[in-house]
Chain A
Amino acid sequence: MPFNVLVLACLVYVIFLFLVAFVVERRAALGRLGFLRSPVIYTLSLSIYCTAWTFYGAVGYAARSGIEFLTIYLGPTLVFVGWWLVLRKLVRIGRQQRVTSIADLISSRFGKSNMLGVVVTVIAVIAATPYIALQLQSLTLSFSVFAVDTPEVWRGPGNADIALWVAGGLALFTILFGTRKLDAKEQHHGIVTAIAVEAVVKLVALLAVGTFVVWGIAGGIGPVIDRLAAVDAPGWQVQPDRWIGLIALSAAAVISLPRMFQVMVVENIDESHLARASWAFPLYLFLMSLFILPIALIGMERMPAGGNPDMLVLTLPLGEGQGALAMLAFLGGFSSATSMVIVETIALATMISNNVVMPLWLRLRPEAAMSGDLRSGVLLTRRLAIAGVLALGFLYYRFSGGSAALASIGLIAFAGMAQFLPALLGGIFWRGGTKVGALWGLLTGFAVWAFTLFLPSFGEGAAIPAQVFSDGLWGLGWLRPHALFGTDGMDPLVHSVFWSLSLNTMVFTLGSVLTFPDPVERIQGVAFVNAFDREAQAERLGWSHGQAEPEALLALAQRILGEEALTFFEAQARGQGKEGFLPDLTPDFLAEAERKLAGSVGAATAHAMISQLFGRATVTVEDLMAVANETAQIMEYSARLEAKQEELTRTARQLREVNEKLTQLSVQKDAFLSQISHELRTPMTSIRSFSEILTEGDLPPAMVADSGRIIHSEAVRLTRLLDDLLDLSVLENGTVQLNLELAHLGGMLDRAVQAASQTRPERRFEISRNPLAEEIFLLTDPDRLVQVFINLISNARKYCDAEPAILRIAVRQRGGRVTVDFIDNGKGIAKDKQALIFEKFARLTDQTRAGGAGLGLAIVREIMANLGGSITYLPGQRGAAFRVMLPLRLEKPADGART
């Protein structure tokens, strides 16, 4: 077949795919995806798992190692059949967090860590390099098969040139396909559909070749099985360690391969599609594998010596003269390689731009978040990344010599990608996983993989000196690339997978257990591990109010999301019940906006951008701690201020009270002075007037005697007043001399009643007493106490207005105190006056009825205070009632001070 026809066919096929993608993108933009959203498309797009490795390499693998090639499809089958365990959660988290790549997922889970994103991206790019080289190699081989076949018509270019052309063409194709626009969710409907078409082409091609081989050459299924049973090829025996190891490895790879993650998680439109894919994808793998063994079997029988078993799918039909079938097979292989390269490079480019370049750029130029069109920057980065990834693949192809079996190259890539698994599964099932653990686990696994598998793949002595293979690194025998820790005799691949994954897991768990996650990590941990728990989702890390204006946020979002930003803002504003495009900056809205941006530029970048808008360069734990510290200081300061203020308030209150008291005292003093002058003035006035009368002389003796008597009585009254005043002042100053002795209470009351009987002797006055209760001996000053009793009894005699007046004297002893109540049956004292009666000159009624100066009760109160007791007015006794309380034994006060 002419070589240029081949190239033309490829071009036509590519243009057809491009048209498919274009039409679908158009429909998607119009929102009319229809059947394109069906689970069939999703399942078919998952078939990028089957690359040129499957299409060409599996037959070669089967020819060399028998049924071992099946392990590569059995692992994914188990993962998909068990979708309920892992994939469901992965897809849910991917959708919830708007994850854009596996690097984004891991970085987002471990505290939106930039560092982790970079590490995952670097590992992914390096691990993908052999895989992309594999595709280049298989395409080059398939071209050369045709070129060699027809040397006289078209002398094909050399293999290296073909590989270069293929790599360039694929780069162009991918850039045209994958970076035409920037999607918020990083979903590429057009590409997914094109891949689905390619999936159909490769399945049909392989089934066609298989059918031809089984029924056209071998003569039916029965003979094939018979022949299969009879085969005794040297390498066909199942090696248990490789068998189990490869099933595990392929199961790990199907979860962590960047392109699988892209189609499975990122491009997922509907979670229920995964349920359909759980059986449909294994079915696809089943069909792909069905004819591999027969093709390998028949191909080996007919293959010329020295032929490449990897190309049997092409050489078998060609050898049988089936040109059209070979062409179909070629297109199938072309589909496998191109679809893988497109999705893989897009996935890697997304990771590179979102997790490495953009964060770096934003860090170098913080103002970039505010100015400039980021979209073009992101797209340019991705285009360069696609070209770079393909260039790396090409270089690997050149340096590894392009001679190794396809399957062995693919397995190296698988083992590299599998290093993500501990961090990934640990991240979504174990809240204890920390950033440090994930980082060191990944680095450890990567280093072991590179040392034991990747670098040796360039050949002994190429990347690692031959001496290291025999003697170990730095001459340490236990550091030999194929016999770590002295594990000689293991299959190199199983050896590498075993050591890299187990050390990776160990370091990850150990690092996680020993370190403490920062707050963002812990919040993300909850959000990921409890992805099916709605309440946990509600408490996601959100933004609180900041200084950013909605306009600034809209401007930023518009630069990244384009027109979609307006729609999003409008929808959010409507959700808040507002008109227009500017919603309030609620934490919910900001979190939603961040997630939306994260869909385009990755979680870490989106977080950094919004942080910038909010005037914070990056929100690190240190920042949070600083804020917390400041807050604590302010709180302490304000607490201290509060305490001080309280103290001041207390002092002010005390001052106010003292001031009030002083004012009162001053008023009292004035009142006292005016009272006393009034009290002194009255007797003085009568003494003066009567003495004036006497000085006139010439008076009848009776009148003289009368006047003299009046003068005398007024003088007595004056003296008594002065005595009282003196008494009061002595009592108040506490300088009174008490003569303490044992006295009989009843006797003292007798004396008092006797003395008081001179007050208004004409009145009928009964006193009811209980002599038995009065049998108490007190250690007190009896004269003073009697003075108190006299005062109280004579008061009753004076003021009790009942007829007959009865005074009840009740004595009670309780503990060390004696109570004597004086209760009469009069009207008592009005409530508002009760507080006044013990004040000086407080006479309730008119002066006329009172014999004294109104100092009696004041003196009584002072005496009682001096005797260590008290006198109070007892309200509610139906008459005036006074209670005298005094101690049974008065301790002699030191220095005559008041007790």
Chain B
Amino acid sequence: MPGQGPLFLARAVYRRRRLRDAARLLPVLGLVLFALPALGRGATRSGGDAVFLFLVWAGLIAAALVLAPHLVRSERDSDAPLPEGDAGAEPGASGDKGAGGNR
């Protein structure tokens, strides 16, 4: 979107954006890891699969635990309207499929 705010952002805002990117990507990572047992055909490996799944699960919970407070803070910080330049999903003008990344 040319003409909408600065091309390069201040460090804090930049961090905030990447934080949100991470929050959006976390479920994708989780899905890929959760799908792995379905790919491993062959011998029944319920024990191994179960341990693996619970470990991934715990990892995701930990990641969400780390991200959540930062996301809440970033949302509060950006309460003041700021130009959103590169956050991929923009529900603003076009309003089509976007992940609701405004504010």
Binding site for B on A (CB under 8 A): 66-67, 70, 74, 77-86, 88-89, 92, 225-226, 228-233, 236-240, 243-244, 247, 272, 275-276, 278-279, 282-283, 286, 290, 293, 428-432, 525-526, 529-534
Contacts and interface: CB of A to CB of B under 8 A. Distances in A.
B91 A429 contact: yes
B49 A67 contact: yes
Contacts of B44: 66, 231-233, 236-237
Contacts of B65: 279
Nearest to B92: A533
B46 A78 contact: no
B18 to A, nearest CB: 13
Contacts of B72: 272, 275
A79 B99 contact: no
Contacts of B28: 82
B95 A244 contact: no
B24 interface: yes
B46 A247 contact: no
Given A77-B30, A275-B68, A85 B100 contact: yes
Contacts of B60: 77-78, 81, 282
B49 A80 contact: no
Task: Name which of B20, B38, B72 has the most chain A CB atoms within 10 A of its CB.
Answer: B38
Given A429-B100, A533-B102, A533-B103, 18 more contacts: A77-B57, A78-B34, A84-B101, A85-B24, A88-B100, A92-B100, A228-B47, A229-B46, A231-B44, A231-B47, A236-B44, A236-B46, A240-B38, A275-B72, A283-B61, A286-B61, A430-B96, A532-B101
Given A244-B35, A275-B69, A431 B24 contact: no
B11 interface: no
Given A85-B24, A272-B72, A282-B64, A247 B50 contact: no
Contacts of B47: 225-226, 228-231
B27 A529 contact: no
Do most interface residues of chain B lie in helix, strand or loop, or is the interface mixed? helix
A532 B100 contact: yes
Given A82-B27, A429-B98, A243 B64 contact: no
A33 B44 CA distance: 51
B12 interface: no
Contact of A532 (B62, B68, B103): B103
Given A82-B27, A229-B45, A431 B34 contact: no
A686 B40 CA distance: 144
Contacts of A432: 96
Name the 6 nearest CB pairs between A and B, nearest first. A82-B27, A229-B47, A228-B47, A279-B64, A89-B100, A532-B102
Contacts of A244: 35, 38
B7 interface: no
Given A231-B46, A240-B38, A247-B35, A279 B68 contact: yes
A228 B47 CA distance: 5
Interface in B6-56: 20, 23-24, 26-28, 30-31, 34-35, 37-41, 44-51, 53-54
A286 B54 contact: yes
Interface in B83-103: 91-92, 95-103
A841 to B, nearest CB: 77
A247 B23 contact: no
Interface of B: 20, 23-24, 26-28, 30-31, 34-35, 37-41, 44-51, 53-54, 57-58, 60-65, 67-69, 71-72, 81, 91-92, 95-103
A78 B91 CA distance: 23
Contact of A74 (B26, B53, B97, B103): B53
27 contacts: A74-B30, A74-B34, A74-B57, A77-B30, A78-B30, A81-B63, A82-B28, A84-B101, A85-B24, A86-B99, A88-B100, A89-B100, A239-B38, A244-B38, A247-B31, A247-B34, A278-B64, A279-B61, A279-B65, A282-B57, A286-B57, A286-B61, A429-B91, A429-B98, A529-B91, A532-B100, A533-B102
B91 A79 contact: no
A233 B45 CA distance: 11
Task: Name which of A82, A229, A243, A293 has the most chain B CB atoms within 10 A of its CB.
Answer: A82
B68 A278 contact: yes
Contacts of A429: 91, 96-100
A176 B4 CA distance: 55
Contact of A84 (B23, B45, B91): B23
B94 to A, nearest CB: 8
B26 A81 contact: yes
Do most interface residues of chain A lie in helix, strand or loop, or is the interface mixed? helix
Contacts, number: 149
B37 to A, nearest CB: 5
Nearest to B30: A78
A531 B103 CA distance: 10
Contact of B37 (A67, A290, A428): A67
Contact of B26 (A82, A86, A283): A82
B29 to A, nearest CB: 9
Nearest to B48: A229
Contacts of B61: 77, 81, 279, 282-283, 286
B58 A286 contact: yes
Given A225-B51, A228-B50, A229-B48, A243 B31 contact: no
A229 B43 CA distance: 11
A77 B57 CA distance: 8
Nearest to A526: B95
Contacts of B46: 66-67, 228-229, 231, 236, 293
A155 B98 CA distance: 61
B75 to A, nearest CB: 8
Contacts of A80: 64
Contacts of B99: 84-86, 429
A269 B38 CA distance: 39
Contacts of A233: 44
Contact of B100 (A74, A272, A526, A531): A531
Contacts of B37: 67, 238, 243
Nearest to B47: A229
B96 A431 contact: yes
A748 to B, nearest CB: 76
Nearest to A89: B100
A84 B48 contact: no
A798 B65 CA distance: 114
Task: Name which of B39, B53, B58, B91 has the most chain A CB atoms within 10 A of its CB.
Answer: B91
Nearest to B22: A84
Contact of B91 (A85, A282, A293, A533): A533
Contacts of B57: 74, 77, 282, 286
A320 B58 CA distance: 32
Contact of B71 (A70, A228, A275, A530): A275
Contact of A240 (B41, B48, B53, B69): B41
A433 to B, nearest CB: 10
Contacts of A240: 38-39, 41
B66 to A, nearest CB: 9
Contacts of B31: 78, 247
B35 A238 contact: no
B73 to A, nearest CB: 10
A778 B45 CA distance: 123
A243 B65 CA distance: 26
A270 to B, nearest CB: 10
Task: Name which of A70, A79, A233, A531 has the most chain B CB atoms within 10 A of its CB.
Answer: A70
Contacts of B20: 84
Contacts of A226: 47
A226 B50 CA distance: 12
B80 to A, nearest CB: 11
Nearest to A70: B53
A696 B49 CA distance: 161
Contacts of A225: 47, 51
Nearest to B31: A78
Contacts of B95: 430-431, 525-526, 529-530
Contacts of A282: 57, 60-61, 64
B92 A84 contact: no
